[in-house]
Structure 1
């Protein structure tokens, strides 16, 4: 049975499942689907698991993937990994069994005196997930020196929950601490 697993750690799931084939991409594109088709349609008498994991799923790739899921090859099980089920079309999700496997993440500690414009820029380039930004903000919350900083970080955490642009929230919080050094 084909599955969709929502997770914050692709590597742990890959090591846990030990699939026959792995397609791990930052963004899954139509070219990747062509490769997946080639691998999946190779005849095999034994069951084969193909794992597809991506941070982003291109809309054209999703439509091509949907065709494979609607008429899957014999003896092939597809497991799709994503950080959020909303990265995928409803039509794909409706054809998969959904499962969640989230792992405890390590604390992200920031040295307040090391916050510079270049540090902030490098952090923003990493395109951190919402949960990773929450860990950073919680670390900053512990280091807050006054009511203003406490209130601001609490507000920033609420903004993340409301899906306000995560990079804007993080950069604003870091700039506040930078100014108060």
Structure 2
């Protein structure tokens, strides 16, 4: 007999979706853990809760906008060998927010509704070094921005639409940037790399136009 341990749900708004589901369940056997970033303390609370005996099947709902790597590693054992009668449902915006070891333990259900990405906060047409400096100063104390990945994607797409052409190596920098926050890089450091790259490509494009 297959033992059901739960699943991962990909949704546009993890916290809202988890709360909506929780509202329809019996609070006696459903526990909800929500956070902007799932940290190690919350992970320990989840583990403690999972070992509290229940007469009926207990659901543990976990929803966050970002997931701390240490917290995920802490949850691995309880997801691999869950207490009897405990089901885990993890809500996330993207599967890339979760470690491969987490994803391998639970089936993934995709409920993402495709949404058009907003434009990057800075205009590529007027982007210059001064504007980049002001933008980075505004973001220098920012960590765990729940919209960071969307902003990185928006910057890349806006750059392509503007007419900039990236090499495979340069495009890979944008891909790597999606995971830099998990390594505790600040938002300003991440965008310093990307925006200076975009400025350099703009300069190269301008020089090619002049020669033409």
Question: How far apart, CA to CA, are the structure 2 residues paired with 1:36 and 1:101?
Answer: 24
Q: CA deviation at 1:87?
A: 3.2
Query: 2:169 matched to 1:151?
Result: no
Residue 159 of structure 1, CA deviation:
0.7
Quickly say closer, same or farther: Cα 1:43–1:174, change in 2 above 3 A: farther
Assess, with a 3 A threshold, how the Cα gap between structure 1 residues 88 and 141 changes in structure 2: closer, same or farther. closer
Q: Structure 1 regions of 5+ residues with no counterpart?
A: 145-149
Report the TM-score when normalising by structure 2.
0.58
Deviation, 1:132, is: 3.3
Q: How high is the TM-score relative to the length of structure 1? A: 0.65
Name 1:21's counterpart in structure 2: 32
* RMSD, aligned CA: 3.8
Report how far residue 67 of structure 1 moved.
Answer: 2.3
Written as runs of structure 1 = structure 2, the 5 A alignment for 1:100-139 is 100-109=110-119, 110=121, 112=123, 115-122=131-138, 125=142, 126=145, 128-139=147-158
| C-alpha displacement of 1:25 | 4.7
How many pairs are equivalent? Answer: 169
Task: Give the match's secondary structure for 1:103.
Answer: coil
Give 1:165's match in structure 2, choosing from 151, 174, 177: 177
Where structure 2 has 5 or more consecutive residues not aligned to the other structure, the ranges are: 23-29, 179-189, 207-212
- How far did residue 162 of structure 1 move? 6.8
- CA, structure 1 residues 119+174, in 2 after alignment: closer, same or farther (shift >3 Å)? farther
State the alpha-carbon separation in 2 of the partners of residues 174 and 102 from structure 1.
33
Alpha-carbon distance change, 47 to 175 in structure 1, aligned in 2, over 3 angstroms = farther
Q: Are residue 9 (structure 1) and residue 25 (structure 2) matched?
A: no
